[in-house]
Amino acid sequence: MADYTIDETVDITDVVCPVTFVKAKVALEELDEGQLISIRMNDGEPVQNVPRSIKEEGHQILKLTDNGDGTYNLIVRKVGD
Amino acid sequence: MKITVAGAQKDFPGGLTVAQLIELENVETPEYVTVSLNDEFVENGAFTSTVLNDGDSVEFLYFMGGGC
Amino acid sequence: MAFTNEQLERYSRHILLSEVGVKGQKKLLNAKVLIIGAGGLGAPAALYLAAAGVGTIGIADADTVDLSNLQRQVIHSTPDVGKAKVLSAKETMLAINPEITVNTHRTFVAADNIMELIDGYDFILDGTDNFPAKFLINDACVLAGKPFSHAGIIRFKGQLMTYVPGQGPCYRCVFKEPPPPDAVPTCKQAGVIGAMGGVIGSLQAMEAVKYIIGKGDLLTGSLLTYDALKMEFRKIKLPRAKNCAVCGEHPSILAPFDYEQAVCELKH
């Protein structure tokens, strides 16, 4: 699988629900359409909920990687303005 | 004739004027009420001369000065 | 301007709303709202606008807190009795949200100060308790081109409307001039159920927020009336008066002026 070119990153491991999704949403708002963002999140509630919430907002989920240290990296392509 | 007053449809005798309606409806502070007939204001001086028709809609708008 | 984690948490319930988001919250933080009157209407409005993160809130009132206020003016508490209302209000607002700026104006509005007072604000809330002030605020806002929320409460009833320049009637279109002093009762004479201020004052804050974020339909061209005993809200369509003395085609009111106050409303 090809590597993605990431335009921005955001780390949401320092906050808890619902600020996890809020922080991700805020970072996505800053992007232009089509840009890619890598979101680092904790295992547990964040990885169970944030990817789904982002998808419900209409964005494209490209890849979710388990970092093996209790965190995950989610790569998202922004859809829409 | 049927007239809607403050959202409620009621029966009234024909030829009723706005002034007479105000009396019949026991409007509070009748000297200081604003009347809207079919979404247009009726001038205060025209209450006795404005005749109502079947199907008209009347609203009474009251001064409310509190905020205290 | 990036939000801190703390701001993201504080305003999270706003940012989650698609109608607000980051853009809307930034608009709120940059907005300036003036509340004239820190009483039954102004109190709840001020609480919600502070909580919402409106960046600059002005509050104007010359009164001190008295015991009879506490039944409904929920921004003031028992230890505040005797304190200037604007100071009491400011303390509560900053305790809710230390990030905002609260400007206190310890004064009554009059023709000689109103234009300067409203000048620095984007939206004005009429939380006053007398007709001369309500007409003064209306005229000043129309003349200055400022949007404002008008409201009134008494006994178990309340009503409100929103004026946006060019988008519908002003208060004077509907109620041409104040009734004579003492012709229509005030809360002091007739009473008012405490929560009425909360219902209507919160609606005023809601109108201000909607105006700032630019979403939803404002109460322009309509008077919302609430009868608590009948549990009825009604929205009454208001035409604009072409011959309105201040916003009509040929206005005769070109500057704010003071009407005579009712005897029992005269403050010391």
Q: C234 pLDDT exceeds 90?
A: yes
Mean pLDDT of chain C: 94
Residue B66, in any domain of the structure? no
Residue B34, in any domain of the structure? yes
Would you list the domain boundaries of chain A?
A: 8-77
Residue B68, in any domain of the structure? no
* Whole-prediction pTM: 0.91
Alpha helix (H) residue ranges in chain A: 19-29, 45-56
Q: Does C19 touch chain A (CB under 8 A)?
A: no
Residue B16, in any domain of the structure? yes
Domains held by chain B: number? 1
pLDDT in tens, chain B (68 residues): 999 999 999 999 999 999 999 999 999 888 899 999 999 999 888 999 999 999 999 999 999 887 76
Domain limits at B25? 2-61
Question: A10-63, pLDDT tens digit by residue?
Answer: 999 999 988 999 999 999 988 999 999 999 999 999 999 999 999 999 999 999
Dist. CA C30–CA A76, nearest whole Å? 31
Dist. CA C182–CA C200, nearest whole Å? 23
Q: Provide the CATH number for the domain around residue B51.
A: 3.10.20.30
Q: Tell me the residues of B at the C interface, defined by beta carbons under 8 Å apart.
A: 6-7, 29, 31-32, 34, 36, 39-41, 44, 59, 61-68
Q: C7 pLDDT exceeds 70?
A: yes
Structure tokens at A25: 């949403």
Decide: B11 and B36 in contact? Cβ < 8 Å.
Answer: no
Confidence of residue C268 (pLDDT cuts 50, 70, 90): very low
Domain A8-77, CATH: 3.30.110.40
CA–CA distances in Å: residue A53 to residues A31, A33, A45, C14, C141: 17, 18, 12, 16, 43
List, in order of start, the domains of chain C with CATH numbers.
Answer: 31-265 (3.40.50.720)
State the DSSP code for B49: T
* Chain pair A-C, CB pairs under 8 angstroms: 29
Please count the CA atoms within 13 angstroms of the CA of B48 that sit on its side-chain side: 2
Q: Tell me the residues of A at the C interface, defined by beta carbons under 8 Å apart.
A: 14-15, 18-19, 21-23, 25-26, 29
Look at residues C242, C258, C265, C246 and name the one whose alpha carbon lies nearest to residue C134: C258
Residue B67, in any domain of the structure? no
